[in-house]
Structure 1
């Protein structure tokens, strides 16, 4: 049996090296695309390329550069549009042959993440209510499940029932005339606000991790002899696990409990476990820390004290370790 162990270990090491090399290649390819796009969208480079193409006869290189220039211009134009108009509407045709009302109204919502890149757009498709000319209702959407689109629809795009329609024929008091009026602008505004605050919460978690120091690895690169607390990074699009580097605060794990990123879980080296709630405005509303001797009220006060902003949580914890009270 001992003769088979070295090849297995060697095979595992080779698999781990291949996985890390592939990840590095993907990172370099992304970096290359980013640098090419940045260079081609810069005004000095574009002017020089246009002057060169105007003063020289067409060559084989122009066939390679021209598509890149066109793609860079379209990408820059799209980003400018996203910055200026974070929510846009467009007509859409329902591809289903059995649709009773194929004419739909599409809403595209763009959100910029903390790294300066735009996230994948979110879409909401609206259709007219049967028998109504002006009322709309949600047909399909790509909004995350933890954002209640149904609740927002009931609040801003209400559809009266048959009984309410019968009562509507009666004369209403002045303050009740607009009670059931739909407001598409407020619906889209509130929907984008909740998406933006969700990204701000995720950015706050990544900011805290970055201050503490993060080590990443792919899920496939697992070894029993790895030190530290490895947790699945639910905020990453890749299949990754993360571990915090050794720090003065003794925090070994910091991660959201769900993708919604409302509750953040902390774990210390001495075994204490904590959780705090993050509001839509980036404020630590409540915190609970439990150790071997019960709740740590002083540490809970440090998490929620001061300005209570999530960006300064680590600063407040450092002051707590030094014995400095949070103002």
Structure 2
């Protein structure tokens, strides 16, 4: 028994040291990220580039090489190119390109039209999504989706059926329906952006509930939430679980509006928990702010 009493303070001190080391490592990572951000901001500044170019010209006139200055100029040029690329990806969110199918038996002599979709969330670009279109119909210029990298949760087939109908489809006047490639591309990108916004807001809910790291100065609730996650592939349904066994389901619209929320407890539906969680919120972002204030 005496041995256990002597060991417990040592274990407590070791745990405190481990916790302090973890905090210091987290602070170091944050400082590295901040340093990289500030460096990139300075390198992308036009005034910084002018100062570097002026200093480089003065060094050359004195016939004195400066490898550090050359390195800074190269880094500034690289950052400027990255800035231009990000500006292009942000402004030209949908681009087209032509490719050729190497299959010798490909339709339309292998001609393929490609669509590239850029999506950004929380100041970061995702990997672009691609749609490949070809013309498989004889004596027709109608397009059809050939290959794609769109997630299965995006209703691509429905969007294509609405905006890229096959030539056999006819309207009330017995005329072939026209295809609208522009509407197809805009609708599809809107669905992609909505999907990523919904997944991002679920991450915000987890952070507000303290599931992605404890908020500084936040009080521990009486009955904490132990899990918040997407309940379906489209991220329109959110599963919420409490430590006392209660579970809830929140139904979210395509644009983040709250459609319905239900919380089940030991005695059936817990309407009081719904009122505490929802309040006067009409959008999912309102719940995030409400949880941060609790």
| TM-score bin (small chain) | 0.7 to 0.9
| Distance (Å, rounded) in 2 between the aligned partners of 1:33 and 1:117 | 15
- Give 2:253's aligned residue: 279
**Structure 2 residue 285 is the aligned partner of structure 1 residue 311:** yes
Number of residue pairs the alignment of both structures matches: 266
Write out aligned runs for 1:19-30 (5 A).
Answer: none
**1:251 and 2:258 matched:** no
Q: Partner of 1:46 in structure 2?
A: 49
- Summarize the Cα distance change of 1:68–1:199 in structure 2 as closer, same or farther, 3 Å threshold: same
Question: Aligned in 2, Cα 1:135/1:311: closer, same or farther, shift over 3 Å?
Answer: same
Task: Say whether 1:181 aligns with 2:178.
Answer: yes
> CA separation in 2, counterparts of 1:203 and 1:196?
10
Contact 1:128/1:137 (<8 A) preserved = yes
Query: TM-score, normalising length from structure 2?
Result: 0.75
- Which residue number corresponds to residue 207 of structure 2? 210
Match of 2:113 in 1: 105
User: For residue 127 of structure 1, what is the aligned residue in structure 2?
Assistant: 134
Deviates more, 1:194-203 or 1:308-317: 308-317
Per the alignment, in what secondary structure is the counterpart of residue 235 of structure 2?
coil
TM-score by length of 1: 0.68
Q: Is the 8 A contact 2:239 2:250 kept in 1?
A: yes
Could you say which residue in structure 1 is the equivalent of 2:80? 73
**Structure 2: distance between partners of 1:95 and 1:139:** 14
1:106, 1:123 within 8 Å by CA — same for their partners in 2? yes
Query: Do the aligned partners of 1:124 and 1:142 also contact (CA within 8 Å) in 2?
Result: yes
CA contact 1:246–1:252 (8 Å) conserved in 2: no
2:268 is equivalent to residue 261 of structure 1: no
Q: Is the 8 A contact 1:299 1:317 kept in 2?
A: no
Q: Any idea what the Cα deviations from partners look like across 1:4-39, whole Å, max 9, x if unmatched?
A: xxxxxxxxx9xx99xx89999987776665444332
Unaligned runs of 5+ in 1: 1-12, 217-243, 322-327
Structure-1 residue corresponding to 2:195: 198
> What RMSD in Å do the two structures reach over aligned CA positions?
3.5
Matched, 1:85 2:92: yes
Gaps of 5+ in 2: 1-14
Deviation of residue 96 (structure 1)?
A: 4.5
Residue aligned with 2:125, SS:
coil
Residue by residue over 1:98-135, the C-alpha shift from the partner in whole angstroms, topping out at 9 and shown as x without a partner, is: 5343322111111220x222222111121223424522
